[in-house]
């Protein structure tokens, strides 16, 4: 059962859903100078709800040493965060204001939706 779908309508009265463009992380390429260049899929449009971090989320990210301008986003579907062990980067999200955010941690993962931490990127 998609519990998020049950409450999303009520939450949207206060904090409306917004279109989010998702670019899934693909394998990276090596440039001629040896640096790694991340590759991403074509953008996919989804609806999401951006919120400020809760205290519990802040503590979790602090333990992971994640820094920068951060928020959480609830999305229908699935995205991935940074996985250092497999040298995989996070997915990119572009919000309505054209700001670009990197998924840095998955805070909750369910079959139909995900809550993830996002960190703003310099365009």
- Domain extents for the chain? 3-26+37-120
The predicted-structure confidence for 35-72, as pLDDT tens digits, reads as follows 888 889 999 999 999 987 766 666 666 656 565 678 89
Query: What is the distance between the alpha carbons of residues 92 and 20, in angstroms, rounded to a whole number?
Result: 10
Question: Can you give the pTM of this predicted structure?
Answer: 0.77
> What local confidence, expressed as pLDDT, does residue 69 receive?
79
Lowest pLDDT segment from 10-14, 106-110, 118-122: 10-14
Statement: residue 3 has pLDDT above 70: no
Which CATH number describes the domain made up of 3-26+37-120?
2.40.10
Average pLDDT of every residue of the chain? 81
pLDDT, residue 42, reads 95
């Amino acid at each position: 059962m998609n519990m998020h779908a049950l409450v999303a309508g009520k939450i949207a009265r206060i904090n409306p859903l917004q279109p989010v463009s998702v670019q899934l992380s693909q394998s990276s390429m090596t440039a001629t100078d040896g640096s790694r260049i991340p590759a991403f899929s074509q953008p996919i449009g989804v609806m999401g709800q951006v919120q400020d971090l809760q205290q519990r989320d802040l503590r979790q990210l602090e333990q992971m040493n994640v820094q920068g301008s951060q928020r959480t986003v609830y999305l229908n579907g699935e995205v991935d965060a940074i996985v250092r062990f497999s040298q995989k980067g996070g997915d990119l999200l572009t919000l309505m204001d054209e700001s670009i955010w990197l998924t840095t941690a998955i805070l909750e993962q369910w079959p139909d939706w995900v809550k993830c931490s996002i960190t703003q990127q310099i365009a």
